[in-house]
Structure 1
Amino acid sequence: MTAGVATLLLPAARRLGSAAPSAAVAIALGRADVRRGLGEGRRAQLLRHLHPVPQHWPVAALTRQRDAGDAAGAAWLRADPCRVQPDINGARLLGVGETLGLDARDAAQLLPALKPLFGDAGMPIDAPVPGRWYLRLPPSSTLPQFTEPDDALGADLFEHLAQGPEGRRWRGLLSEAQVVLHNHPWNAQRLESGRPAINSLWFWGGGVLPDHVRPDHAQVCSDDEVAGGLASLAGVARPLPACFETGEGGWLFDLVAMRDAHVLERDWLRPALDALRARDLHALHLDSADGTVVTLARGQRWRFWRRPAARLVAA
């Protein structure tokens, strides 16, 4: 087997805490090449490896295609169920989609009450997956700038609503949807069973499906909905294995959901470094959501004057 190149997509350093790596891993990381300032955040990280054509970021269309296979021919907008908590300064977004423990019964109860509102506005709503709700729009629809939920969690809701003349319509629709959900008896049952109420929607990710996606890797292994959608369009999608494995060509492993530094080192970094030493890998790239890429190669073992790294993920 020809030695390949492996890339691990890692979370931002703050997501893994301050746990120090083992001595062997710290030495290898300290001797590696580091590039910084490549673009922070999940969007920038994925677009370093998967390139939609034309270049845009239509999350809703990508996940819709993966969920239902019918994204072509329309524009799509995520309208994910969410929990908003009023406070003295306004309201805060506390949970979105799958984090709220939705199941098929929740969608079956709540969606019929919302369908007249959005159907009359010319944008049918449905949910092929209980935690991901969609609005279907004409392909030529002009949408305002919406905030991704990860950027708004815990923050003041009103700072992240769509602005400007185009945003006014969406703020109105959101207010009407909140009234419908607030008054729905199903939410009382959710609260009685110890689950949070679904009292709002989060609009985000609008756009049309790309013509195609150009990948930088022969295989992209991910359980993430957006990365999986991009990789599926590129024809290189694979499920994420339980631990590191090698293959021919370039392999990308999406570990952004990882939060345990010990598991990251045990199941991924140490096996990858072993493969590098055994010449099963030509190079190993660690791409963090902080916009930093660390590259490890066999020849770096002679850089004995370098100090060991203090953290697994470079910020």
Structure 2
Amino acid sequence: MAPRAVFLLPAAEAFGAQRLDPIRARALGRGDRLPSREPGPRAQLLRRFEVLPRRIPVAALTRQADAGDAAGHAWLRADPAHIRPDINGARLLACGETLGLGADDAAQLLRPLKPLFGDAGFPIDAPVPSRWYLRLPLQARLPEFAPPSEALGADLFEHIAEGVEGRRWRALLNEAQIVLHNHPWNEGRAARGLGTVNSLWFWGAGVLPDRVASEFAEVSGDDEALRALATAAGIRAVAAAPQFEAPAADALFDLRPLRDLRLFGEAWLAPALAALDRKQLATLELDLADGRGYRLARGQRWRFWRRPQAALE
């Protein structure tokens, strides 16, 4: 039996007033509209992975992949970040891999942070230069932290932890920012035209799930939560590709960074529809972040009475 493919897409509003070309619009119009589902990127992933308990503790999942020692503790990512003050507050401009840190960078920058977080009871380390971790007690109570993907370019204070539980973390963050601002290693990076690390980004808190499973054989994409879930489920995770190629088995493609509907139509939807026609795919599902969805199949091409649909709505 031919495999099936699922495209994870952003919310329809991300494409604005863009429209598909007539051929792809006709295929979409003849497809099946799926019942509305829970919106949000987290809900999209939980539709595709069975995670028990039903949450996505990114820090614990990536820690297990990076170091293999996540069991027995709760974990929080404290990734290196660069923020820039502006007239309205401050903005997160870079985080994690985008700063291009090497092992020496991480070792030097972490040295003065280790006593700060160690005294607070949360040892910090970095098995990977771009991914920094705080080890927490299993029963640690933490506020909600936004992932950096939601905060990049936005006002920092719209995403900072609030409430009584957030107060302690805001204080720790302020102390860490002072340490990093005064760190001579940052002066050297700035002199070489490299991004400085003047803050941390807390996110992804939790403990290892009891179970992670998926019906897919392969996932394609660069999102950390997606790749961490795939690793935990024991399935193959590959980097995002520039265009669709028919998979050998059921596959999930993360296209949520896409904002160009023409590119989506040409590089992804057109070759996927061709694969359906050649019976290289059994079905293609479009899963939008706003909860909408479509299922396309070869037999739908005979639905001549259906109107074309040029927008993902």
Q: What is the TM-score when the length of structure 2 is the normalising length?
A: 0.90
Structure 1 residues 41 and 194: alpha-carbon distance in aligned structure 2, compared to 1, 3 A threshold: farther
- Which amino acid counterpart does residue 251 of structure 2 have in structure 1? W
Q: 1:254 Cα shift?
A: 2.2
Matches within 5 A, 1:185-224: 185-224=184-223
Tell me, yes or no, if structure 1 residue 135 matches structure 2 residue 131: no
Residue-by-residue CA offset, 1:9-48 (whole Å, 9 max, x unaligned) = 2233455565543332221112212236423332111111
Q: 1:57 Cα shift?
A: 1.9
The 8 Å contact of residues 60 and 204 in structure 1, kept in 2 or not, is answered as yes
Residue-by-residue CA offset, 1:265-298 (whole Å, 9 max, x unaligned) = 3443222111211222221101122322111012
Aligned partner of 1:270 in structure 2 is 270
Q: Distance in 1 between matches of 2:70 and 2:256?
A: 26
Q: Secondary structure at the match of 2:286?
A: strand
Structure 1 residues 178 and 308: alpha-carbon distance in aligned structure 2, compared to 1, 3 A threshold: same
Q: Distance in 2 between matches of 1:196 and 1:275?
A: 44
Q: Distance in 1 between matches of 2:194 and 2:291?
A: 36
Aligned partner of 1:99 in structure 2 is 98
- Which amino acid counterpart does residue 125 of structure 1 have in structure 2? I
The 8 Å contact of residues 126 and 132 in structure 2, kept in 1 or not, is answered as yes
Structure 1 residues 92 and 224: alpha-carbon distance in aligned structure 2, compared to 1, 3 A threshold: closer
Q: Distance in 2 between matches of 1:111 and 1:246?
A: 44
Q: 1:214 Cα shift?
A: 2.4
Q: Secondary structure at the match of 2:59?
A: helix
Aligned partner of 1:65 in structure 2 is 64
Aligned partner of 1:228 in structure 2 is 227
RMSD: 2.3
Structure 1 residues 280 and 39: alpha-carbon distance in aligned structure 2, compared to 1, 3 A threshold: same
**Structure 2, unpaired ranges of 5+:** none
The 8 Å contact of residues 240 and 254 in structure 1, kept in 2 or not, is answered as no
Aligned partner of 2:160 in structure 1 is 161
Structure 1 residues 108 and 259: alpha-carbon distance in aligned structure 2, compared to 1, 3 A threshold: farther
Between 280-289 and 234-243, the greater mean CA deviation after superposition: 234-243
Between 70-79 and 36-45, the greater mean CA deviation after superposition: 36-45
Q: Distance in 1 between matches of 2:254 and 2:112?
A: 37
Aligned partner of 2:3 in structure 1 is 4
Q: Distance in 1 between matches of 2:309 and 2:7?
A: 18
Q: 1:7 Cα shift?
A: 0.9
Q: 1:240 Cα shift?
A: 4.2
Q: How many residues are treated as equivalent by the alignment?
A: 312
